[in-house]
């Protein structure tokens, strides 16, 4: 459509100019300008062009119902106010700043509250142990039989472990195991809560000297949480609670990437990878029984990328086995870890080509701002390997051919705004490359990656920044609706599953629209 | 070409898949992946795609001579080293940081020195009183008959004025005029030099709370310099010196935007706008006589945009008159000032359409990161009004139709990397949107805007960040050469002038290539 429009404008402009050249009083050299038009004609043409440009933006062609149009008025009035304030004083505009400095401010925003209530569909990009709120993590440290290993004279938490007896293995030489309740008594309950709140997230570091340093800190949280979460019953509870928190934030579906670590039992015995999936699967069934309006959850097996190709060969075999046993749950494959430090996909092409067609790839690719690096080239390999979606794709806009292929092949980009900011790819959301994906109508979904580590809502903060910071000012309910429906459209749900999913989402959507019209959020 | 390639890949991939479906041992559902290819076939296809993608990038199709190929090897070896260091420790990579923190570091860079020596063609976007080095500005404060008006008990410089007698008019109520030599004596020469060095630039403020605040500070420098530079003989010397400093930085041509302020004489008499142009013109002739290898300079009349449409009507008349008297020198028109606070172009369409065809527009447009604002829409009006180039166009990539029109109509974007950073549009050069213009092969030129205010070389710093931070890692001599030739190709030079320009540039280019091959810069 925009393509057609460009051609049309070019032709119109050429015709107008030829005419001008003929009717001009003096000899007019034929130029590319439209200066011989009357101001009225100019403005008409200009409006037409602006309109066509606008319609090319993702979601703008959606037709809203009368109720939705009424809700849209409410939403846009609130949005306009927030933008106007921002233009008057950009230093107060939250999408121009780091989330760690604006978290409280954002939670007071009327737009944020509207978005919090909105049924947002599914989260298609999130990692196993970075889902739940800090409060929930701290509540887990009150569970029975938990030990903590501390260093630096009992001040620095190094690891956790559930055990009847004092654990025998030390994660580092000079750390000392003690029961969690003793640690809490010794340091004071409030101090411990404050300390763990910091250690379980990236706060207060809004500025790292580089994204490498940010990643090191980030990986440190995963490591610290390991002993706390990889205990089988906790793993089960953590996932159930994640589904609960996500549902409360207006998320009805979760496509989870997991390393699928073998879990440990209280007596130290280890379970298998298969058991980890089985635990997920049975918790999901339990959750769905308790919450019939929830759509569901699926699993993407996503082990670490910093390995030898032979290990990926093993990954592929594991994926095939797991999919065989859990065909409608364990449905996809990815590789995780900092792309810059791991290996590029091209190193693993041989084993990856052995993956059967029915197990989809959902590769991380292009999570970098190094233009022309091997990480950029992961975009090429991901697309050629037939990835169904691209995780992050932050660098995609720098590769116009890959961007057009993504559009042509209907590959959705999983955009994770807050994650990109915290992991130091960029600060100001108004410069986020996803704006260009919207403008070029490349399909995107909005995800939260690791909301636990930035103390954000499961999805609302990412939607908020996408709506207020990344999308054009005029982006409205059409945009929000297309983000929600995209998250179902580009999910791994099968045909009949999708039909049910849309239905469950639509019910909540209609209710929310009514609430918005009734000014329930204002 | 990339378009063709995409279609080709899509067809190839479809064919391969159909074939797979037929020959597969089990029933293979036709998918979009290429998983049935052998790893070797996959890698061949992948290389072809990467190659086509790469060739689509600006400048990559240039054929280099043998000498140039040899020079390219030297350049790329140095570049590779600088990039490798950056990847190992991104905190030390200068394009990831603010220029005010890395100025000294950059000047030590081997790549910077290579670029400093390179004949870079012309600067097509720079403003009248923001051209010369701080050292030169300070030297001007030693001229005879200069007065300074200070406030805050003689501590804060408010204005300058050349006058035989004490000036009678005060710029603000509570400032006091004193002869510059007395001020210098009272405060101490070193202190004054240090103080003025700060006041004549944006240093040390690498972070403003908003771009509005940055702009306020920025406009403050122009205002402070007003009385110092708008004295007729100084205006002449300043321009001559600018041409000299630009030539020494490898710039052979300057297309200057000027407000064309009426200048004052020592007795307080005022000259006319026409006189300002006449002074420029005669200084240019003097400079060209002294420097026969210099290509030249042209003028774009660029008055302030924050005015009523009736004032623009007057601007247009002035432009026509000036162009009549200086037809080969005063050749273009633009409007300047912060786009957010000024009026959008659409307000001025009526008077602007009256501009005769032979006076070109070179509009500032889209110097913002507010997506969907009226400033973005300046891009539409600029293009429809037939602008020959776009000043900044920072927001262009968010408007895919406008971006394609710019490419189709061969409108070059004047990219000013350092200016965008200092005026708070973005910090990390690796996120600068010009990368996407390169990737989409939209023509660009690199300019410096106001190098005086960031204490940068007339053009070398902007080239350095474009080469190392914005362009893909593999960008090489082809990229640098196309930037240089673009600056002539998209200039306002006429046909024969262009021929001479290329010739003068080529002579210097060949010499530089020889020097690079001879490792003169390493």
The answer to whether B35 contacts A386, with C-beta atoms less than 8 Å apart, is yes
- Name the token pair of A297: 């959850």
Beta-carbon separation of A431 and B435 below 8 A: no
Given this model, what pLDDT does residue A55 score?
84
Interchain contact, A408 vs B6, CB within 8 Å:
yes
Rg of chain A (C-alpha set): 26
DSSP string, B102-122: HHHHHHH-HHHHHHHHS--EE
Q: Residue A350: list chain B partners with CB under 8 A.
A: 39
Q: Are B487 and B235 in contact (CB under 8 A)?
A: no
Share of chain A above pLDDT 90, in %: 79
Distance of alpha carbon B289 from alpha carbon B291, whole angstroms: 6
Residue of chain A whose alpha carbon sits nearest to that of B371: A472
Provide mean pLDDT across the span A165-183. 93
Comparing alpha-carbon positions, the chain A residue that sits nearest to B466 is: A371
Q: How far is A95 from chain B (nearest CA, A)?
A: 11
How confident is the model over A247-302, as pLDDT tens digits?
999 999 999 999 999 999 999 999 999 999 999 999 999 999 999 999 999 999 99
Residues A89-128: tens digit of each pLDDT: 888 899 999 999 999 999 999 999 999 999 999 999 999 9
The whole-angstrom separation of Cα B254 and Cα B120 is: 11
pLDDT at A2 over 60: no
What span, in angstroms and rounded, lies between the C-alpha atoms of B521 and B456?
20
Strand-pair partners of B253: B122, B296
Among chain B residues, CA nearest to A83: B370
d(Cα A506, Cα A502) in Å, to the nearest integer?
A: 6
A304 close to A342: Cβ distance less than 8 angstroms:
yes
In chain B, which residues have their Cβ closer than 8 Å to the Cβ of A16? none
Nearest to B401 among A34, A56, A472 (CB): A56
pLDDT number for residue B493 = 98
Calpha distance A480→A477 (Å, rounded): 5
- ∠ Cα B275 B276 B280 (to 5°): 110
- Integer angstrom CA distances of residue A517 from A59, A208, A521: 21, 43, 9
Report how far residue A425's alpha carbon sits from residue A398's, in angstroms, rounded to the nearest whole number. 14
Q: What confidence tens digit (pLDDT) does each residue in A393-424 have?
A: 999 999 989 999 999 999 999 999 999 999 99
Q: Which residue, among A47, A470, A111, has the nearest Cα to B371 in the 3D structure? A: A470
What chain B holds in terms of domains, given with CATH numbers, is 2-55 (no CATH), 121-132+228-502 (3.20.20.140), 136-211 (no CATH)
How far is residue B120's CA from residue B508's CA, in Å, rounded to a whole number? 10
| Out of B39, B210, B436, closest to residue A349 by CB | B39
Q: How confident is the model at residue A475 (pLDDT cuts 50, 70, 90)?
A: very high
CA B50/CA B55 separation, integer angstroms? 9
pLDDT of residue A23: 35
Distance from CA of B103 to the nearest CA of A (A): 18
**Strand B146-151, strand B156-162: pairing:** antiparallel
| Average model confidence (pLDDT) across chain A | 91
Go through chain A and tell me how many residues it has: 522
Q: What is the pLDDT of residue B443?
A: 96
| CB contacts, 8 Å: B399 with chain A | 53, 439
pLDDT for the residue B33: 56
* Residues of B whose CB is below 8 A from A428: 369, 426
Q: Of B46, B87, B346, which is closest to A380 when you measure between CB atoms?
A: B46
Beta bridge partner(s), residue A361: A333
Residue A123 to residue A253: CA distance in whole angstroms: 6
Q: For residues B518 and B67, what is the distance between their CA atoms, to the nearest angstrom?
A: 11
Q: Are B464 and B82 in contact (CB under 8 A)?
A: no
User: Which mean pLDDT values do the consecutive 10-residue runs of chain B (522 residues) have?
Assistant: 44 40 39 74 89 84 96 97 90 92 94 97 98 98 97 91 95 92 96 96 83 87 96 98 98 98 96 98 98 98 95 98 98 90 90 95 94 89 95 95 94 98 93 94 97 97 98 95 98 97 98 95 74
Residue found under tokens 């004596």: B185
pLDDT for the residue numbered B4: 45
Query: Does A367 qualify as catalytic in the annotation?
Result: yes
- The CA distance from A465 to the nearest CA of chain B, in Å, is 13
A341/chain B closest Cα distance in angstroms = 10
Chain A residue closest in CA terms to B95: A370
- At residue B446, φ and ψ (nearest 5 deg) are -105, 130
With an 8 Å Cβ cutoff, are A400 and B439 in contact?
yes
What pLDDT sits at residue B205?
83
User: Which chain B residues are Cβ-neighbours of A333 within 8 angstroms?
Assistant: none
> Catalytic amino acids of B?
367, 392
DSSP A329: T
Contact B370 A430 (CB under 8 A): yes
Are the beta carbons of A53 and B371 separated by less than 8 Å? no
Q: What is the ipTM of this complex?
A: 0.85
Q: Cβ separation of B353 and A35 shorter than 8 Å?
A: yes
Per-residue model confidence as pLDDT tens digits over A347-377: 999 999 999 999 999 999 999 999 988 888 9
User: Which of B28, B90, B404 shows the shortest C-beta gap to A6?
Assistant: B404
**pLDDT value for A35:** 82
CB contact under 8 A, B210 and A89: yes
Would you state the pLDDT for residue A342? 76
- Cα(A488)–Cα(B274) distance, integer angstroms: 65
Strands B251-258 and B296-301, sheet pairing:
parallel
Chain B nearest CA to A224, separation (Å):
25
Chain B contact probe: residue of A56, A384, A425 with most B CBs at under 10 A: A384
* C-alpha pair distances (Å), A487 with each of B108, B333, B432: 50, 48, 29
- Cβ distance A357 to B471 less than 8 Å, yes or no, reads no
pLDDT of A522 > 80? The answer is: no
A319 vs B6, residue with greater confidence:
A319
Straight-line distance from the first to the last Cα atom of chain B, in angstroms, rounded to the nearest whole number = 37
pLDDT band at A340 (very low <50, low <70, confident <90, very high): confident
For the stretch B103-110, contacts whose Cβ atoms lie closer than 8 Å and that sit 24 or more positions apart, written own/partner, are B103/B455, B103/B456, B106/B461, B106/B464, B109/B82, B109/B464, B110/B78, B110/B81, B110/B82, B110/B521, B110/B522
**Residues of chain B contacting residue A425, judged by C-beta atoms under 8 Å apart:** 431
B397/A430 CB distance under 8 A = no
Of the two residues A518 and A91, the one the predictor is more confident about is A518
**Dist. CA B508–CA A274, nearest whole Å:** 69
* Nearest CB partner across the interface for B2, out of A355, A401, A439: A401
> Residue A33: what pLDDT?
56
* Per-residue pLDDT at A373: 86
Query: Could you give the residue ranges of the DSSP H alpha helices within B211-363?
Result: 211-229, 232-248, 273-290, 309-325, 349-352
Indicate which of A431, A465, A469 best probes the interface with B, i.e. most B CBs within 10 Å of its own CB. A431
Q: Which two tokens stand for residue B73?
A: 């090897």
Q: DSSP label at B466? A: I
The number of beta carbons lying within 10 Å of the beta carbon of residue A88 is: 10
Is the separation of the CB atoms in A318 and A351 below 8 Å? no
pLDDT at residue A106 in the model: 96
From A127, A231, A392, A432, the catalytic residue: A392
Model pLDDT, residue B23? 35
């Amino acid at each position: 459509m925009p393509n057609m429009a460009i051609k049309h404008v070019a032709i119109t402009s050429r015709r107008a100019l030829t005419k001008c050249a003929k009717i001009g009083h003096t000899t007019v050299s034929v130029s590319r300008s439209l200066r011989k038009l009357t101001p009225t004609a100019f403005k008409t043409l200009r409006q037409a062009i602006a309109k066509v440009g606008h319609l090319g933006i993702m979601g703008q062609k959606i037709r809203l119902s009368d109720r939705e149009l009424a809700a849209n008025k409410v939403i846009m009035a609130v949005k306009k106010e927030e933008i106007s304030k921002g233009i008057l004083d950009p230093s107060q505009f939250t999408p121009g700043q780091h989330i760690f400095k604006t978290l409280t401010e954002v939670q007071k925003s009327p737009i944020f509250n509207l978005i919090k209530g909105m049924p947002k569909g599914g989260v298609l990009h999130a990692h196993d142990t970075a889902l739940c709120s800090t409060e929930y993590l701290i509540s887990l440290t009150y569970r029975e039989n938990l030990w903590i290993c501390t260093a630096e004279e009992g001040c620095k938490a190094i690891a956790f472990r559930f055990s009847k007896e004092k654990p025998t293995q030390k994660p580092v030489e000079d750390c000392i195991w003690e029961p969690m309740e003793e640690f809490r008594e010794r340091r004071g309950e409030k101090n411990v809560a404050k300390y763990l709140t910091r250690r379980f997230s990236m706060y207060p570091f809004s500025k790292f000297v580089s994204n490498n340093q940010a990643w090191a800190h980030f990986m440190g949280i995963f490591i610290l949480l390991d002993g706390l979460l990889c205990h089988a019953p906790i793993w089960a509870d953590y996932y159930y609670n994640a589904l609960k928190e996500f549902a409360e934030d207006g998320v009805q579906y979760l496509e989870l990437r997991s390393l699928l670590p073998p879990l440990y039992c209280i007596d130290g015995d280890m379970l298998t990878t298969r058991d980890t999936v089985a635990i997920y699967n049975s918790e999901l069934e339990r959750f769905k029984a308790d919450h019939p309006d929830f759509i569901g959850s699926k699993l993407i097996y996503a082990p670490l990328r910093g390995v030898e190709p032979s290990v990926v060969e093993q990954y592929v075999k594991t994926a095939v086995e797991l999919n065989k046993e859990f065909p409608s749950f364990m449905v996809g494959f990815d590789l995780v870890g900092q792309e810059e430090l791991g290996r590029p996909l091209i190193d693993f092409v041989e084993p990856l080509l052995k993956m059967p067609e029915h197990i989809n790839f959902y590769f991380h690719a292009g999570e970098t701002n190094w233009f022309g690096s091997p990480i950029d080239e992961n975009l090429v390999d991901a697309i050629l390997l037939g990835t169904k979606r691209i995780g992050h794709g932050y660098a995609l806009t720098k590769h116009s051919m890959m961007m057009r292929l993504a559009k042509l092949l209907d590959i959705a980009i999983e955009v994770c705004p807050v994650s990109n900011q915290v992991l130091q790819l960029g600060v100001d959301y108004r410069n986020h490359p996803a704006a260009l994906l919207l403008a070029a109508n490349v399909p995107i979904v909005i995800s939260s990656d690791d909301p636990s580590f930035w103390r954000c809502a499961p999805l609302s903060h990412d939607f908020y920044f996408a709506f207020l910071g990344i999308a054009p000012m005029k982006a409205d309910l059409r945009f929000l609706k297309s983000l929600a429906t995209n998250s179902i459209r580009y999910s791994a749900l099968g045909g009949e599953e999708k039909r049910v999913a849309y239905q469950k989402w639509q019910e909540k959507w209609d209710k929310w629209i009514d609430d918005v019209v009734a000014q329930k959020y204002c």
